[in-house]
Amino acid sequence: MDLSFLPMDLARWDQVSGDLFVVSLFSDARPLRGAAGLLDWRLCGKLSRWIREGRLSGVAGEKTLVPTQRIRFRCVLALGLGESASFTEDGFRDALKRVAATVAGLGLASVAIEPPGRERGRLAPDRALDVTLEELDSVSQITRLTVVDTLPALKLMTERVKAKKLAMTS
């Protein structure tokens, strides 16, 4: 699996393409933040509108697939994480398992994801990367995984990847 990193920057998002762009949202966090907030902006408020209409809530276990032409990914998967205060690493893993099942079921190869809950700092960047790779590595058809996060978090993640590669060559 090819791994790349993408900062929270709409102009940079326009430079990459793929099959699925995954964002997550908490049921009690409004306005939307992180990648979901930027994506909502790019989609002209579609996610916020669906929240107001009751079509999207952010409850734990919720999955909403949205086809779009407003970004260079075929579709968006919005994952509900439940209440932010009760979100744990187990919830993080559960969300990633739902992503893995969705990707496998749809036969997708290229996925961009903001690790679930990262926009609220619920998991450290290096731990978020490790768990994301553990959970999504089981999906054999993923050929390209792009991790979306803030620049400081991506710097830590990049250092983590370099350290692991160095340890493997020693």
The continuous run of DSSP H or E covering 90 comes out as: helix 89-106
CA 22 – CA 125 distance, rounded (Å)? 17
| Bigger pLDDT: 121 vs 69 | 69
Mean pLDDT of 63-89: 94
pLDDT of 89 higher than 70: yes
| Residue percentage of the chain with pLDDT more than 70 | 99
pLDDT at 13: 96
pLDDT of 161 higher than 70: yes
Reported confidence tier of residue 74, pLDDT bands at 50, 70, 90:
very high
DSSP secondary structure string for all residues of 3-45:
EEEEES-HHHHTT--EEEEEEEE-TT--S--HHHHHHHHHTTT
pLDDT at 119: 82
Fold of 2-169: Leucine Aminopeptidase, subunit E; domain 1 (3.40.220)
pLDDT digits (tens, 9 = 90+) for 90-143: 999 999 999 999 999 999 999 999 999 888 887 899 999 999 999 999 898 999
Half-sphere exposure in the Cβ direction for 81 (13 Å, CA): 30
Mean pLDDT of 7-25: 96
pLDDT at 34: 94
pLDDT of 20 higher than 90: yes
Residue 60, both tokens: 């734990």
pLDDT at 113: 98
pLDDT of 170 higher than 70: no
Tell me the pLDDT of the chain averaged across its residues: 94
pLDDT at 116: 94
Sequence-separated (6 or more) residues with CB below 8 Å from residue 84: 26, 28, 29, 117, 120, 122
pLDDT at 166: 79
pLDDT at 165: 84
Contact predicate 111/146, CB 8 Å: yes
Residue type, 67: P
